[in-house]
Amino acid sequence: MAKIFEIEAQRASMTCFLNSLLREWGLWDHVELPELLKRPGQITSGIRIDVLGGEKLWIPLEHWSSLGRHEYGWPVYLEAESSTYEILDFHALSQLLIDTIEVKEGNVAQSKQRFKARVEDSLIAVQEVLSHRSQDLSELSLQSMSFLDAEQYLVVGHSFHPSPKSREGFTAEDRQRYCPEYAGKFPLAWFAVDPYIVRRVSSEAFAGKNWVQELIEADPLLSSLVDAKIPEGFLLYPMHPWQALHLLAMPKMKAHQSEGRILSLGEHGGSWYPTSSVRSIYQPKSPYMLKTSLSVRLTNSVRTLLLREVDRGVQAHDVFCSSEGKKLLALYPDFKVIYEPAYWAILDDEANPIDESIVICRMNPFEADESGQGLVLASLTQDDPFYGETVIETLIESYRQDHAVSGRVASELWFDRYCRVVLEPLLMAQADFGILLGAHQQNILVAMEDSLPKTLYFRDCQGTGYSELAYENLKDEIASLDLTNGNVLPKDMANTLFIYYLFINATFNVISTIARKGHLSEDAMIESLRNILLEMLSRKPRDPSCIMQLLMNEKILHKGNFICSIQDINENTTQNPLAIYTPIVNPFYQNQASEKIH
C-alpha cells in the first residue's frame, strides 16, 4: 500500500506542478508522441520540453484542456540524443525542470534550493495524508459532505501551484495536529492579558458584543479556564496553540510576561478544527470561528495578519450593513457573507499592535455542521486520488440518476446553477456596486440542494477592495473608506485581480471539472458563460468595465504561482502585486463579436 500512496502522491503533485508551469512558461510544445510512447486508443499526444544537455522531456497527455487544467499520463520520459527513453519519477522531473528554468531564464539561483525544498515538502505532505487518511476518506460520502468534511478533504490543494501543500515552519508532528487535510484538532491556547495592552476593534453593527465571553460560554470544557486564578480585570485572550508558542518566544511578548502584563494559561477547552486555509479554525458549537496570525509560509506567503487587512474585514461588515450593501444582499437572497466584524491584537511597549498576536472573530453560520452546508469550492473541483472522480462529478451523477436525465442535461443544469448562484452575485457586486470580493476557490462556499448549488457563502473579508464607483457611493456612510488606505483600487488593477480570482481561479476550474466526463465540453460552457456575460452587460450596470474586459480583451492576466514560488516572493508583502501576473489567452474573446459590442 505504501508504494501505491507514493505513486498517487507523485501523480497528484506532478499535475499541480505542471499545470502551474505550463500556464506561465512558454518554452514547450503540444505534439504527437513518439510511437514507442503512445498507448493506442488512449494516449497519442503529449508535452515536449527541451531540457538541459540537448535532451527532450516527454509528458503524455490523457486529456488536453483549453483552460490549462490537463490530465497527464504516468510515467514521464526523458529522451537522450541516442533516442533512448528513461522513465522519470516526480522527484527527477521537478528537479530537471527547475534546473532547466534556471539556465534558460536566470534570476533564480539564490532561491532555487528553497524552491526545490518546498516542492519536496509538499510532495511528502501529500503522501503522508494519503496514507494517514486513506481509511476515513475512502468511507466519506461525497454526496453528503458537511462543511468540516469539505475543509478536511482538500488533500492535494491548489491545482495550479508547484508546491500546494508546502508548510514551511511546521514539523511533521505539527502538520498532523494543525493541518485540515490530516483531520487535525486541538484546544485553544489562552492568555490572561492586561486590557491596557489589547487593541479591541469592532464594526459599528457589532459594537458592544463580548464575543470572547460568548466563545467561553459555548464550551462547557472551559470551566477550568473560568476557575483559573486570573488577575482582576485581565482579559482572557484566545490563540492558535502553535502561534501561542511562537508568540511566547518573541522578545516583545517576553517583556510583557516579565512585567506581569501577560500570563500564559496553556491549552483549555474542547477541540477546534483547522479549515482549508490552516490559520482559520472552526468549532461546531461555537457562535464564531477564529482566524489568527500563523507565522508559517503556506504556499506563497507567511500567514501573518496585518493591521490593514483586519481593519478591512471590519470595514466590510459596515459596508454590507450600509444602504448599498443591503440593496445588493436583497437582490441576491441566496448570497451570504461570513463577516469578520471584530479583532483583537496585543500592543508592544510603544502601543503598536504586534501583528503576530492578531486574532479575528469570524461569524459561524455552520454550527450544526450538517450535510450539504457551505462546501468549499476548492474541494469540489479537486482531482481525487482515492475515487478518481471530483465531488462535482459525483453530484452531477447523483442528480442524473435521481431525475433520470442525460449526463449532458445534468451537467448543463449544474453549470447554469453555479453561474446564477455563485458567479452572478459576485460579478454584479463588482459591476453595479464596486465591491471587489477576493472570490477564489478557497473563499467560495456552496450549499447544495438536490445535488445542485443553492446558496453562496463568501468568506475572507480581509481581502475586500472597492472600485472608485463604490468609493463615491459609500464615502458618506463609511467613514473608514479612504482613497489612501490601499483598498480603493484603480480600475485596471481592480479588474485584473477580480478576473483572476472569480474567473481564472474559480470558474475555469469548475468548467474543467465538469468537462472531464465528456458530457459537456469546455468550449460549450465558455460559450454559455459568454452569453450570460452579454446578458449581464445588457442590464447596463454602473461599471461595465470588467465585463467589457472579459468580452473584448485578447489576453487576461493570471497570477503566476510558479514565478512567485521560484523567485521566493512573499505575496502578502510585495510592493507590486501585479508583478507576478502573466498573460494568458482569454477564452471569451471573439474578434467579430467584440467589434459588435464595441
pLDDT in tens, 528-572: 999 999 999 999 999 999 999 999 999 999 999 998 888 888 776
Task: Provide the pLDDT confidence category of residue 578 given band limits of 50, 70 and 90.
Answer: confident
**Cα-Cα end-to-end distance for the chain:** 59
Residue 203 to residues 301, 341, 347, 355, 437, Cα–Cα distance (Å): 27, 5, 20, 19, 18
Q: Supply the DSSP symbol for 39.
A: B
Cα–Cα distance measured from residue 167 to residue 242, given in angstroms and rounded to the nearest whole number: 13
Q: For residues 476-505, give the mean pLDDT.
A: 93
Q: What is the average per-residue pLDDT within 438-464?
A: 96
User: Can you give the pLDDT at residue 594?
Assistant: 46
Q: Average pLDDT of 286-307?
A: 94
Q: Closest by alpha carbon to 418, among 394, 390, 444? A: 444
**Residue 551 vs residue 113, higher pLDDT:** 551
* Percent of the chain topping pLDDT 70: 97
121-138 average pLDDT score: 90
Q: What is the pLDDT of residue 592?
A: 46
Q: Could you tell me where the DSSP H helices lie in 321-389?
A: 323-331, 377-381
Cell numbers representing residue 581 in the block: 501576473
DSSP 3-state assignment of 144?
Answer: helix
Domain ranges of the chain: 2-137, 170-363, 377-597
Whole-number Å distance between alpha carbons of 307 and 309: 5
Q: What is the reported pLDDT for 396?
A: 97
Residue 325 has pLDDT above 50, yes or no: yes
Closest by CA to 174, choosing from 184, 160, 161, 163, is 184
Alpha-carbon Rg for the chain, nearest whole angstrom, is: 24
CATH number corresponding to 2-137: 3.30.310
Q: Which fold has domain 377-597?
A: Transferase(Phosphotransferase); domain 1 (1.10.510)
Among residues 368, 354, 175, which one has the least CA distance to residue 252?
354
pLDDT tens track for 206-248 = 977 899 999 999 999 998 787 778 999 999 999 999 999 999 9
Average of pLDDT values for 277-298? 96
Examine domains 2-137 and 377-597 and report if their fold is the same: no
**pLDDT at residue 595 is higher than 50:** no
Asked if residues 172 and 180 have their Cβ atoms less than 8 Å apart, the reply is: no
Report how far Cα 420 is from the mean position of its chain's Cα atoms.
21
The burial of 228, by beta-carbon neighbours within 10 Å (0-12 exposed, 13-18 middle, 19 or more buried), is given as middle
